[in-house]
């Protein structure tokens, strides 16, 4: 693999650079998303549709703790990108050292609390009725491995900030492949059920951590921290926290949405309706991988060039990223509108010995999931503007507008809509809330992004 240095972020043509950054990011996100998708298909076929609902209950808790690492990573990586662009390597090293220490401290505390309150958290997130027992089994094992996930997510963003997207891609691929291989043996061969699914996921986190650690101790990384860099510095923590709070707030809102959705849908249709949302949720993680890949590739380019005061390159990177992401989103939209029933059927078991309850659940899911999927993804072609716009403010270190724009779709619009619309429109009200919030958030983001570009970059 050719040696790649961070200064190429400020010299290569933007289109070529964005492709070089976004393609590995997209592949990594694709493999991770496929991991979640195929993992759900395996669980649904080898354990049952209730098992998918159980995993869906656990995801917001484990993802929130893991997202602490991503929040610290993205917050610190924005600093690192701008520091490297300004040729201030010592600040980059101090920031990375503080990220490591902060991730270890925060996730250890959160995991301890998560295990202590396990019996209250699972029902609160919709783990009721037949869902509770399998959800608890999965939760306890997976949450113990979440600190490794947090360190991986933190480290992955730093790798991108160095301008090393191929290594970041490999870090995302390793745990996904490992998880799927172990899923086959632990669930299908050894018949460990939910415990097998949980151990496969947890071991995948550990494999990812091992590779990220290898990257930073090898010659491939420019950031060689020493013990002195691990000591927490208040001014760095403040900047990491203000920028990382954007990501953490977004994930906190996602966790609240899972809590609300699982409970609202359980009241509307029981365990089967939660299973429908579990399938739709997997597609929300999987189908948009190329759009998220462009967004991830855009962040270090915008941050580096802003730090180097190359404002024309920053502006070009914004418009190029929106164009590429919009194209990808449109292709995703077409696929989901044409094949929703075929996608939903992939998650359902066809075992000959299914109980009457399992058969009824499968029939319900097949009836409701396709229409739900079409509604949820109805506004997908326009989301590129909202994602890139919010990411821009985070990349340049403007925490407050980044936070507000990040929360517009899910916090300011979506949550009020799902609390109001189902009271009048039932199940339809839940699903139509998705495209309405997408449209409203895109309009708001477009307005603020246009104003910021004219004021800050047209110099």
Same structural domain for residues 171 and 207? yes
| pLDDT at residue 422 in the model | 94
Same structural domain for residues 97 and 225? yes
| pLDDT at residue 458 in the model | 67
Give the closest residue to 39 by CA, choosing from 143, 138, 170: 138
Element (H, E) at 241: helix 234-286
Between the two ends of the chain, the Cα-to-Cα distance in Å is 38
Same structural domain for residues 276 and 296? yes
Boundary (domain end) residue, out of 232, 265, 297: 232
Extended strands (E) in 319-377: none
Which domain does 26 fall in, by range? 12-232
| pLDDT at residue 32 in the model | 64
Same structural domain for residues 222 and 324? no
| pLDDT at residue 1 in the model | 37
Same structural domain for residues 174 and 262? no
Q: What residues have CB less than 8 Å from 178, skipping those under 6 apart?
A: 200, 203, 204, 207
Q: Are 405 and 390 in contact (CB under 8 A)?
A: yes
Q: Residue 64 falls within a domain, yes or no?
A: yes
Q: Residue 2 falls within a domain, yes or no?
A: no
Boundary (domain end) residue, out of 196, 217, 232: 232
Burial of 359-392, coded b for 16+ CB within 10 Å and e otherwise, reads eebbebbeebbbebbbbbbbbbbbbbbbbbbbbb
Q: Residue 438 falls within a domain, yes or no?
A: yes
Count of domains observed in the chain: 2
pTM beyond cutoff 0.75: no
Splitting the chain (459 residues) into consecutive groups of 10 residues, what average pLDDT does each group show? 58 82 73 68 76 78 77 83 82 89 90 90 84 90 89 87 82 84 89 90 91 90 84 86 76 82 89 86 80 86 85 90 92 90 78 73 86 94 91 83 84 94 94 96 93 80
């Amino acid at each position: 693999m050719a040696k790649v240095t961070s200064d190429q972020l400020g010299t290569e043509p933007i289109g070529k650079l964005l492709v070089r950054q976004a393609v590995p990011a997209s592949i990594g996100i694709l493999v991770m998303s496929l991991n979640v998708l195929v993992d759900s298909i395996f669980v649904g076929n080898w354990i049952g549709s209730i098992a998918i609902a159980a995993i869906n209950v656990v995801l917001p808790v484990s993802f929130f703790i893991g997202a602490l690492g991503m929040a610290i990573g993205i917050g610190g990586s924005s600093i690192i990108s701008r520091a490297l662009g300004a040729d201030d390597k010592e600040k980059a090293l101090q920031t990375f050292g503080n990220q490591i220490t902060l991730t270890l401290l925060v996730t250890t505390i959160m995991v301890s609390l998560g295990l202590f309150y396990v019996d209250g958290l699972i029902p609160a997130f919709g783990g009721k009725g037949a869902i509770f027992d399998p959800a608890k089994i999965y939760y306890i094992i997976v949450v113990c491995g979440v600190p490794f996930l947090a360190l991986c997510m933190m480290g992955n963003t730093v790798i991108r900030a160095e301008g090393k997207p191929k290594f970041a891609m490999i870090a995302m691929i390793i745990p996904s492949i490992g998880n799927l291989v172990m899923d086959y043996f632990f669930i299908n061969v050894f018949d460990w059920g939910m415990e097998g699914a949980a151990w496969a996921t947890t071991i995948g986190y550990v494999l990812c951590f091992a590779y990220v650690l290898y990257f930073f101790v090898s010659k491939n990384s420019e950031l060689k921290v020493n013990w002195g860099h691990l000591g927490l510095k208040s001014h760095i923590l403040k900047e990491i926290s203000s920028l990382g709070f954007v990501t953490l707030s977004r994930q906190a809102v996602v966790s609240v949405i899972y809590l609300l959705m699982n409970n609202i849908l359980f009241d509307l249709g029981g365990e089967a309706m939660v299973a429908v949302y579990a399938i739709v949720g997997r597609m929300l993680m999987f189908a948009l991988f190329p759009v998220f890949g462009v967004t991830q590739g855009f962040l270090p380019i915008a941050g580096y060039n802003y730090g180097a005061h190359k404002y024309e390159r920053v502006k070009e990177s914004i418009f190029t990223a929106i164009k590429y992401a919009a194209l990808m989103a449109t292709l995703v939209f077409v696929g989901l509108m044409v094949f929703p029933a075929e996608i939903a059927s992939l998650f359902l078991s066809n075992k000959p010995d299914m109980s009457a309850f399992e058969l009824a659940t499968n029939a319900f899911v097949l009836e409701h999931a396709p229409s739900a999927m079409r509604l949820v993804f109805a506004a997908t072609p326009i989301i590129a503007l909202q994602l890139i716009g919010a990411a821009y403010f985070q990349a340049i270190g403007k925490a407050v507008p980044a936070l507000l724009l990040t929360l517009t779709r899910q916090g300011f619009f979506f949550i009020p809509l799902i609390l109001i619309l189902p009271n009048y429109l039932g199940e339809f009200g839940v699903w139509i809330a998705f495209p309405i919030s997408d449209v409203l958030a895109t309009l708001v983001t477009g307005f603020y992004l246009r104003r910021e570009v004219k004021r800050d970059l047209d110099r």
